[in-house]
Amino acid sequence: MSEGGKSRSGWWPSTLRARLFLILFAGLAVAYGLSFSILFAERYMSAKAVMLGTLESDLATSIAVIDRLPANERAEWLDRLSRGSYRLVLGPGLAGVPDLSGRGAEIAERIEEAAGKRFPLRVEAIPGDGKRLQGHLTLSDGSPLTIDVTPRGVMPLAEWLPYVFAAQMVLLILCTWFAVHQAVRPLGALAAAADALDPNKKGSSPLSESGPSEVADAARAFNAMRDRIAHYLEERVQILAAISHDLQTPITRMRLRADMAEDTPEKDKLVSDLREIERLVQDGIAYARSSHRNDEKTSRIDLASFIDSIAYDYQDTGKAVTVAGIAQGTAVTKPHALRRILTNFVDNAIKFAGAAEISVERKGEGAIVITVLDRGPGIPDDKLEAAMQPFFRLETSRNRDTGGTGLGLAIAQQLAVSVGGAVRIYNRPGGGLGAEISLP
């Protein structure tokens, strides 16, 4: 038994396309074979009846003519009265055995009917000579006559018939493949659309609702589900934005009251907690805006100047941020969104490693990959994917004590979608983390 309690035979294909093709082709091939067999059997029986009827009538005529001819003229007429399936021979013929069965018995019965009751007849099979038969009879004047019968095939097959059969099988395969392709293609499109489902991605086209009614109904249901998911996500982000925005006013009042209070250790703790809450609220607003409010226009930037400006801003505040190599060329993107993504990467690197290094690499088809590298503790491999989720914090070094809210990478990922890019984080060989964004 395979996983999930389903048995899987070694010969049974695993894909729906192959299974449908096998079922349809096998069913059509069996049906075609049965039709061909029935037609062949019907033609065989018809040809057999015609052959036996012709043998009986021709043989009766030949015997009657030979019997009426003078004895000295019979030899001249033997070839004229013989046919393809039998030959007339004057004399007693060959010795045979009376053991007849199957088709031989049917032919013997027709020979007896052709001879009639006027001529005593004895039909024998010639041993060792296939289906050859000989009928021995005595004419009216007492002369012996032998009827040498060599039955031919009832219905010979034409030489072109195997080629026609092969062409029909090829046509059957092509038609079956086309039918399966038409049936499975919508499922492939639905699977691809489900795999690429991203309700937050702007400008993504819905699944085509054309085709048969069942396919169109499934596509409409999928598009409706996609719209509902997008609506739920938008509602979630709007709630987060509303709560974060509404919290700013009471936080500000509390900050003012705390600043007016007497200097005590409790005041310092209160102010620290308020700063942390304010930072969390600001990050929540930033996450909400990155999800649905990034209306920044795209523009062309010089990569070298852009990356150097980010590094210089950190260096001016005494942070160890360097640029690896020289970033050549330009890129068309949203500058403020890209800057926010890279600053989130750099902030994380400085927070957990104390230093950061920025590198730019061009890959095939003009793609640009900007990577921020550090030599910090990294992230466990089984938690790399979860680290991109909102409010995710590790229980070890990347926790609230370091000042993080768990929204930095989530905001970077949302902004990357808005600029048409993709974010990836990975552990570096030898320790440390790499955070990269790929731009088209």
- Whether the per-residue pLDDT at 124 is higher than 70: the answer is yes
What does the pLDDT look like over 250-268, one tens digit per residue?
A: 877 887 877 777 778 787 7
pLDDT of residue 7: 44
Per-residue tokens: 208: 């085509």
Question: How large a percentage of the chain has pLDDT more than 90?
Answer: 2
At 129, the pLDDT band (50, 70, 90 cuts) reads: low
Determine the length of the chain: 440
- Whether the per-residue pLDDT at 145 is higher than 80: the answer is yes
At 327, the pLDDT band (50, 70, 90 cuts) reads: low
Closest to 278 (Cα-Cα) out of 296, 314, 251, 259: 251
Mean pLDDT of the chain: 77
pLDDT of residue 187: 75
User: Which residue would you say has higher pLDDT here, 191 or 403?
Assistant: 191
pLDDT average, residue stretch 62-81: 83
Q: What is the dihedral of CA 122, 126, 130, 132, to 10 degrees?
A: -40
Per-residue tokens: 105: 């018995």
Most confident residue range from 144-158, 364-378, 397-411: 364-378
CA distance 186 to 209: 10
At 204, the pLDDT band (50, 70, 90 cuts) reads: low
Question: How large a percentage of the chain has pLDDT more than 70?
Answer: 80
Helix (H, G, I), strand (E, B) or coil at 256: helix
Inter-residue contact 345 to 412 (CB < 8 Å)? yes
pLDDT of residue 102: 62
User: Which residue would you say has higher pLDDT here, 63 or 282?
Assistant: 63
CA distance 412 to 434: 14
Helix (H, G, I), strand (E, B) or coil at 20: helix
- Whether the per-residue pLDDT at 57 is higher than 70: the answer is yes
User: Which residue would you say has higher pLDDT here, 433 or 416?
Assistant: 433
The pairing of beta strand 121-125 with beta strand 133-138: antiparallel
Cβ contacts of 124 within 8 Å, gap of 6 or more: 95, 96, 97, 98, 100, 133, 134, 136
At 2, the pLDDT band (50, 70, 90 cuts) reads: very low
User: Which residue would you say has higher pLDDT here, 16 or 292?
Assistant: 16
Per the DSSP assignment, residues forming a β-bridge with 435 are 372, 425
- Whether the per-residue pLDDT at 374 is higher than 70: the answer is yes
What does the pLDDT look like over 361-373, one tens digit per residue?
A: 887 677 888 889 9
What does the pLDDT look like over 271-302, one tens digit per residue?
A: 777 777 777 776 666 666 665 555 678 888 88
Helix axis angle for 161-195 and 16-68, nearest 10°, is 170
CA distance 433 to 357: 11
pLDDT average, residue stretch 382-407: 63
Cβ contacts of 158 within 8 Å, gap of 6 or more: none
This prediction has a pTM of 0.47
Per-residue tokens: 274: 């308020």
User: Which residue would you say has higher pLDDT here, 167 or 114?
Assistant: 167
Lowest mean pLDDT among 19-23, 67-71, 203-207: 203-207
Number of alpha carbons in the 13 Å side-chain half-sphere of residue 56: 15
Q: Which helix (H) or strand (E) holds 335?
A: helix 335-353
Inter-residue contact 370 to 359 (CB < 8 Å)? yes
Buried b (16+ CB within 10 A) or exposed e, 33-51: eeeeeeeeeeeeeeeeeeb
